[in-house]
Chain A
Amino acid sequence: MAGRRLGLRKRLALDIFSDLYRTTVAEHRLDTLFWECTLRCNLSCRHCGSDCRVDPGVPDMPLEDFLRVLDEEVTPHVDPASVLVIFSGGEVLVREDLELAGREVSRRGYPWGMVTNGFALTERRLRGLVDAGLRSVSVSLDGFEREHNHIRCNPLSYGRALDALRLIVREPGLAYDVVTCVTGASVPLLPEFRDMLIAEGVRSWRLFSIFPVGRAKEDPTLRMTDAQFRQMLEFIRTTREEGRIDASYACEGFLGGYEAEVRDQFYQCAAGVSVASIRVDGSISGCTSVRADFHQGNIYRDRFWEVWQNRFEPFRNREWARRGECADCRMFRYCLGGGMHLHDDNGDLLYCHYKRL
């Protein structure tokens, strides 16, 4: 078991990586742009970090507002082909103009993808989206029927998500993965679930732990114990060694001895470094997973590119995170306080991955 211990070879490589990463931060080349196009959702999941619901009380952002930012603030400064636009929610499929949005983004030369719970994905809808230039999609499937439907609070959600996955797997040229939020209850079922995914033809699988933000904060039963967390990482490691499916842990936190063993790359938080988001209310931030108020501006008041170039200081200089349990941690040089999404509005760390090992 890898645990916390870092061998000399890995430590040296991490030192090199940290050094190279500083250049990446200094450049802050935008390579991923989220558009949180809606907070509406056709489900009301127990673990929703965005606290989405059928009627969130927040209107969708009009497509023309997002396109204006692309045209006036982004396209003049980037090669569109090198910036991945990700439609995010809420549940993006509730937007009836999603195909139009995709077509307009594609027409401007940007590759685009979306994250979906699959509930409303029909064959016809998928065809329309692919024709509109959809290049990549992530589908949420949180375990077998009982676990998935429990988390998603809908008895039809597993069947619909599986149907959607079967459509996606058959679609040539479409990048995809399955994303699974692992709970304590689902840890023992992971091997069986992996085998099911492989039998369905799935090649890429990303596992998350549930972090205490949004509704997930209210339900501690969704979280793993430290032992279960280690068991999940060990499972990912051995699954990768077997090579039957490309399993990986999400980009969440620094994992000590598991670094480069449960993910393709060393840990880094790209939020605000190479990733920006435009929220449904126009706020400009890092990843959409960052729910705390690290907003750097708003497209209705500020110029996006000016914000991207000149603000984002808390994202690019993480020294502020060297406090609390991070203050004297020897791993800070590698983890820089963990993912931005793991900090609350006060900047306090919600939990440390490394210390769970």
Chain B
Amino acid sequence: MNRKIKFALAALLGFSAACSSVRHSSAGKDRTQERVGAEAQPDSLERRIMVMYGVPSPERRQPVASEGVPMSGPAADSSDTPTETAPNAE
């Protein structure tokens, strides 16, 4: 069964969010994790599972200062920063 259909079925059953951690898989594509770019999912940080001894996923990539260190604070907020998804949002 096609992956999209499986996700649609999971959503129909009311468990779309519960399956979100496996959504980034790219079945059929090259299994090697490629350097920078095309295959990288922009929201992969948000979808990672929070593991034991781990930390919450940071919000989407912040603007990077010239020396390469992400800026912090309100000035770093950008319009594409996603709003946090509520738990169990289906």
Contact = CB atoms under 8 A, between A and B. Distances in A.
Interface in A91-147: 103, 106-109, 111, 113-115, 130-133, 135-138
Interface string A239-262: 010010010101110000001110
Contact of A77 (B32, B45, B62, B70): B32
Given A27-B26, A251-B49, A107 B69 contact: yes
The secondary-structure label for the interface of chain B is loop
Nearest to A135: B58
A143 B10 CA distance: 37
A340 B64 CA distance: 36
Contacts of B87: 240, 243, 246, 248, 264
A265 B31 CA distance: 24
Contact of A86 (B36, B54, B88): B54
Interface residues of B, number: 58
A84 B35 contact: no
Given A78-B35, A173-B72, A23 B45 contact: no
A341 B51 CA distance: 11
A183 B42 CA distance: 39
A275 interface: yes
B82 to A, nearest CB: 12
A204 B32 CA distance: 34
Given A79-B40, A135-B58, A243-B86, A268 B15 contact: no
Contacts of B36: 79-80
Nearest to B36: A79
A56 B23 CA distance: 41
Contact of B70 (A26, A106, A289): A106
Nearest to B54: A86
Interface string B61-90: 110000111101110110000000011100
A287 B54 CA distance: 8
Given A23-B25, A31-B44, A260-B18, A175 B62 contact: no
B73 to A, nearest CB: 6
Interface of A: 9-10, 12-13, 16-17, 19-21, 23-24, 26-27, 29-32, 34, 75-82, 84, 86, 88, 103, 106-109, 111, 113-115, 130-133, 135-138, 171-177, 204, 206, 208, 240, 243, 246, 248, 250-252, 259-261, 264-266, 268, 270-271, 274-275, 287-289, 309, 339, 341
Interface of B: 1, 3, 6-7, 9-10, 13-15, 17-27, 31-37, 39-41, 44-45, 48-59, 61-62, 67-70, 72-74, 76-77, 86-88
Given A16-B9, A17-B22, A137-B55, 17 more contacts: A10-B15, A12-B13, A13-B10, A17-B19, A20-B19, A82-B41, A84-B48, A86-B53, A138-B55, A173-B62, A173-B72, A173-B76, A208-B52, A251-B49, A260-B17, A268-B21, A274-B48
30 contacts: A13-B10, A16-B9, A17-B15, A21-B22, A24-B25, A27-B25, A34-B53, A77-B33, A78-B33, A79-B35, A79-B40, A81-B61, A86-B54, A106-B68, A115-B53, A136-B55, A136-B56, A173-B62, A173-B73, A174-B72, A176-B56, A208-B52, A240-B88, A251-B50, A264-B88, A265-B17, A265-B19, A270-B48, A287-B51, A287-B52
